[in-house]
A and B are shown apart, each in its own frame.
Chain A
Amino acid sequence: MWHEISSFISTALSVFFCAVAIKLSDDYLDRAIDELTGHKNWAHKLGNGTMLYAMLMLIIAAGLNATVSLPLFLSSYIIGMFHDLKQTFPSRLTGLQESCVVLLIGIAIFTWQMMLFALLYIFAIQLIDDCIDYKLDDMAGYRNFAHKLGVVESLLLAGLAIISAFAIDEASFAPVLSGTIVFFLGMYYEEAL
């Protein structure tokens, strides 16, 4: 019994730290846009150390549960590339090629089930987050998934992705969802302060 509880908590915490790592990386990349729109993100508070803190958080997440947190991080990298599929990156690869390489690495290191679970889960979270940020991104002149697909379509697709993720890995779903909920509650609490 205790083993199950500790496993649940460690996985949830691992997802929480992974989410913090993703948030910090994203804030660091978007710091210029957020500065233009007058929105203060974590990169403005932490400065140049933002990426180091992100790495630290990812190491903690990997230490707690690598098989869940690292596929989630790789999936967020792949999903994040969806907006820049044709853009060429410093690796001389386009966004689509980089996404494929990262996906193959993920499948090779972790199982394809875990990568598919993580991809569907992150895609669902991204769609829901885009619906929440609909007005904010509209003001910044950035077209997210909610603008491209529509709000109702995005929410229904998110529902389909969540159910598919649940069907693929029922055991990991509850702790992953708990970790995500804790992260989002913390984020909105921090924004409300």
Chain B
Amino acid sequence: MILSIFIFIAGLFIGYVYGKHVGLTLGQEKGKSEMPLLLRQQSLEQGYCTLCNELIPCINQNQNSNNRQEGGLDGKFQSSS
């Protein structure tokens, strides 16, 4: 009886610790992959870098290139139509 209770709690303990460890690792990986995109999205929306509050040329360049790309696509669509 005591042994079975001990094994049950030991199983719960090992399962909880392993599950928590796996969850933390997965969460960190997900966070690492999502964070750059989130920061980039916020920076683009605000027009300046979220981290250093400065207008970064690369963001503006990216914005310009994105706008150009969109314009280009529009142009293509316009020409095709």
Q: Which residues of A contact B (CB under 8 A)?
A: 150, 152-153, 156-157, 159-160, 163-164, 166-167
Q: Is the interface of A mostly helix, strand, loop or mixed?
A: helix
**Contact of A156 with B13 in the complex, beta carbons under 8 Å:** yes
**Contact of B12 with A156 in the complex, beta carbons under 8 Å:** yes
Chain A residues, Cβ within 8 Å of B9: 156, 159-160, 163
Interface size of B by CB at 8 A reads: 11
A167 to B5, CA, bound (A): 11
- B6: interface (CB < 8 Å): yes
A159 to B16, CA, bound (A): 14
17 contacts between A and B (CB under 8 A): A150-B20, A152-B16, A153-B13, A153-B16, A156-B12, A156-B13, A156-B16, A157-B13, A160-B10, A160-B13, A163-B2, A163-B5, A164-B6, A166-B2, A167-B2, A167-B3, A167-B6
Chain B residues, Cβ within 8 Å of A164: 6
Min CB–CB distance B46 → chain A (angstroms): 35
Chain A residues, Cβ within 8 Å of B10: 160
- B38: interface (CB < 8 Å): no
Closest to B10 in A: A160
Min CB–CB distance B47 → chain A (angstroms): 40
> Would you list which residues of chain B between 19 and 72 have a CB under 8 Å from chain A?
20
**Contact of A160 with B16 in the complex, beta carbons under 8 Å:** no
A160 to B2, CA, bound (A): 10
- B73: interface (CB < 8 Å): no
A157 to B9, CA, bound (A): 8
A160-B13, A163-B5, A164-B6 are known; give 4 further A-B pairs, CB within 8 A.
Answer: A153-B13, A153-B16, A156-B16, A167-B6
Chain A residues, Cβ within 8 Å of B17: 153
Considering the complex of A and B, which 6 residue pairs feature the smallest CB-CB distances, nearest first? Answer: A156-B13, A159-B9, A163-B6, A167-B2, A160-B9, A163-B5
Min CB–CB distance A164 → chain B (angstroms): 7
Chain B residues, Cβ within 8 Å of A167: 2-3, 6
Closest to B12 in A: A156
Min CB–CB distance A161 → chain B (angstroms): 10
A163 to B6, CA, bound (A): 7
